[in-house]
Amino acid sequence: MVILGIESSCDDTAAAVLRDGAVCSSVVASQDEVHHKYGGIVPELASRSHIRAIVPVIERALAQAGMGLEAIEGVAVTAGPGLVGSLLVGLSAAKAIAFARKLPLVGVNHLEGHLLSPQLDAEVPFPYLVLLVSGGHTSLYWAEARARYHCLGRTRDDAAGEAFDKVAKILGLGYPGGRVIDELARSGDRRSIRFPRARLKPGRHGRRFDFSFSGLKTAVWQYVRERQAADVDAAAVAASFQEAVVDMLLDTTLAAASEMGAQRLVIAGGVAANSRLRQRAGDAAAEFGLAVAMPAFRYCTDNAAMIAYAGSWRLLRGQRDSWSLNAAADLEL
Ligand code: KG4
Ligand code: ZN
């Protein structure tokens, strides 16, 4: 089955074509330049940029796959969670194509796309533990089987990627901050500043493996504020901050892996592109006998290949959404 995937939940406009689960093309148009000077995403600018980009991005995905619209047999589109104005752009384009070509349409949960993203490169057998770390989410899921995902924990305040972006802003490095901090941290001493690591007790909701990054973000802000700009070694701050994030992510993830008796761990989402997290996760996996799968860089950050992949399973099972499919900003998995 040839499926067109469309993703516009946040600040990337993306389209991809999959044939029988294999990626024929995956095109992502980033809006980093639009939001860079604001140090974060401006939702209204994001939706307007999606409107300008969506048709050219879909055309490029088809061209790179060497296909026309007539070859497409189903359309999968992100229906949430995300920015509602952004989601509506992809959703409207998907509906228009599906309606005009009389194709089946399915809405996909963006988080399911991330959870399944390593499968684009190589099959990861269920069940597995997933650490989903992105700009909007930091959660642990037990992926029992397709469409059976259980949330074991999530952040109670900032997402890990959001913390990277905010610290980059504090250091005057622009948006998005993750990649810049990752690069800067390579030349800094990660042991030079001891930032706090939060360890949370089980929460009201019974979740045992929650995260919190706001204390760490505040500690970095205080550290920088208490010093003259010339006395702040940005590389040391970046490396020490990054090490604290990685410690917190892996401590909680390994505790959950042990509790669940997990044999496989998936790390997905934009922050899974972080080189230190990848290195430390690889080391920890070897130590604890876990098989760890992390998506290729191009599938860590937002993309439509993972949406098409998640949608293909539903389409093949005959699932369809109606034309009343709507965007849901806080769609649960
Ligand atoms: O998954 P994604 O593209 O979008 C969301 O669904 O949120 O993730 C974007 C996030 C941003 O916060 C960005 O700073 C972070 O991923 N990120 C990184 C790296 N590359 C992207 N964080 C740490 N290290 C990186 N190398
Ligand atoms: Zn995402």
Question: Residue 12 Cα, ligand 2 centroid: separation in angstroms?
Answer: 9
- CA 86 – CA 152 distance, rounded (Å): 28
Q: What separation in Å is there between the alpha carbon of 161 and the centre of ligand 1?
A: 5
| Atom in ligand 1 nearest the alpha carbon of residue 9 | 6
Segment 39-43 mean pLDDT: 84
Which of 68, 84, 70, 61 is CA-nearest to residue 8?
Answer: 84
pLDDT of residue 241: 98
Separation of alpha carbons 72 and 18, rounded Å: 9
Mean pLDDT, the chain, integer:
95
pTM of the model: 0.93
Q: How many CB atoms lie within 10 A of CB 137?
A: 22
Ligand 1, CB cutoff 6 Å, lining residues: 10, 134-136, 161-162, 164-165, 176-179, 182, 269-271, 273-274, 301-302
Q: How far is the CA of 81 from the centre of ligand 2 (A)?
A: 9
Alpha-helical regions (H) of 171-233: 178-185, 214-225
Whether 29 shows a pLDDT value over 80: the answer reads yes
> How far is Cα 115 from Cα 254, in angstroms, rounded to an integer?
18
Distance in angstroms (rounded) separating the CA atoms of residues 138 and 165: 14
Reported as a single tens digit per residue, the pLDDT across 125-152 is: 999 999 999 988 999 999 999 999 999 9
Q: Which atom of ligand 1 is nearest to the CA of 160?
A: 12
Kindly identify the ligand whose nearest atom is closest to the C-alpha of 307: 2
Look at residue 117 in the predicted model and tell me its pLDDT: 96
Which of the ligands is closest to the CA of residue 183? Answer: 1
Instruction: Give nearest CA residue, ligand 1 atom 19.
Output: 178
C-alpha of residue 71 to centroid of ligand 1, in Å: 33
Atom of ligand 1 nearest to the CA of 275: 26
Ligand nearest to the CA of 176: 1
Closest ligand 1 atom number to CA of residue 242:
23
Contact 117, 306 (CB under 8 A): yes
Q: Is the pLDDT of residue 94 over 80?
A: yes
